[in-house]
Structure 1
Amino acid sequence: MLRFSDAVLSKGERLSRWGFLGLTTAPLVGAVLFNHTGTPPFLLCPLRAITGIPCPGCGLTRSFLAIARGDFENALRMHLFGPVLFLAFTVAAVFTAIELRTGRRLQRTPFHDINKRIQNWWWLGAIYLVYYSLRLYSLFHTGEFYIHPLEILATKID
């Protein structure tokens, strides 16, 4: 059951909640809209476009698009953390909207409980880096990742 504090949200808190709601719903709404219009060119990874090396977040947009289509198998294949982040954005948006609707702060949210249980967040970063390293290794082994830095520099200079 949801429990609310007695204090009413201040004007500053309401404003920050509206900003947070915009940040959490933008990827969700974008995933639904871009499924019908196609992925726009501004969503392409600049690091991969310049260097040929995929960034740690490469595939998250495609994963979100797959989730919006209901294709969870492809979503996991595009990026393992895509469904997790999509769920986190959805839950955060719902709880933020509830706080804005009621005008009161929630005393406990799933994020509060998770934050209490996970004392040190560094290991999540380590897991993410290991996953990224495995993705790079896999791309290199399958031949999809064939980067030669000296070749890139030579073509950029010409």
Structure 2
Amino acid sequence: MRLFSVPERIGGFGSLVAVAAAVWPALVDHTGAALPCPLRTVTGIPCPGCGLTTAAVALVRGEFGAAIHANPLIFGLAAFTVAAFPLVALRAAGVLGPPRPWSSERRRQMGWIAGLLAVASWLYQLHRLL
């Protein structure tokens, strides 16, 4: 039995991203180290996730326009992150039961949605960066 649902796991990942986005600018300023996109570095073509670090840092700073310009997917990750906290708390308090496994049909639907979001993000990055 899974302890956390997929949305809760995505929200947990978003929490880690938020912490990293708060620390990242100071680390870069102090060390000068940056983390380039491997695909863009090798091929010159941006990946669907290009701009997520920039978007996360902008969102943590409250710069919503800069965040959406860098990568609009950050707002979906932020929504999962915000929603995950009460969900995990309600499960821990026993108000909600454990997550139910998704049916194969539901997994397939979510796979399509994730794939379409990745393609949309990639098209956005290609338009923005090329």
Short-chain TM bin:
0.5 to 0.7
Structure 1: segments with no counterpart, 5+ residues: 1-9, 141-158
Change (3 A) 1:68 1:138: closer
* Greater RCO (Cα-Cα under 8 Å, separation 6 or more): 2
Query: Is the 8 Å Cα contact of residues 55 and 70 (structure 2) preserved in structure 1?
Result: yes
The CA distance in 2 between the partners of 1:92 and 1:73, in whole Å, is 24
How far residue 126 of structure 1 moved from its aligned partner, in angstroms, is 2.2
> Of 54, 76, 95, which aligns to 1:62?
54
Q: Deviating runs (4+, > 4 A) in structure 1?
A: none
Aligned residue for 1:89? 81
What pairs with 1:1-158 in structure 2 (closer than 5 Å)? 13=3, 20=9, 23-38=13-28, 41=33, 43-100=35-92, 102=93, 104=94, 106-107=96-97, 120-121=109-110, 122-140=112-130
Aligned residue for 1:3? none
Identity %, equivalent residues: 27
The 3-state SS of whatever aligns with 1:120 is helix
Opposite residue 120 of structure 1, the aligned amino acid is: Q
- Which range moved further: 36-45 or 25-34? 36-45
Q: TM-score normalised to the size of structure 2?
A: 0.66
* Alignment size in residue pairs: 117
Opposite residue 78 of structure 2, the aligned amino acid is: F
Q: Which structure's CA Rg is the greater one?
A: 1
Structure 2: segments with no counterpart, 5+ residues: none
How far residue 37 of structure 1 moved from its aligned partner, in angstroms, is 3.7
More strand by share: 1
C-alpha distance after superposition, 1:91-146 (max 9, x if no partner): 2244224433x2x262599xx9xxx8xx8331452243134224314433xxxxxx
| Root mean square deviation of aligned Cα | 3.5
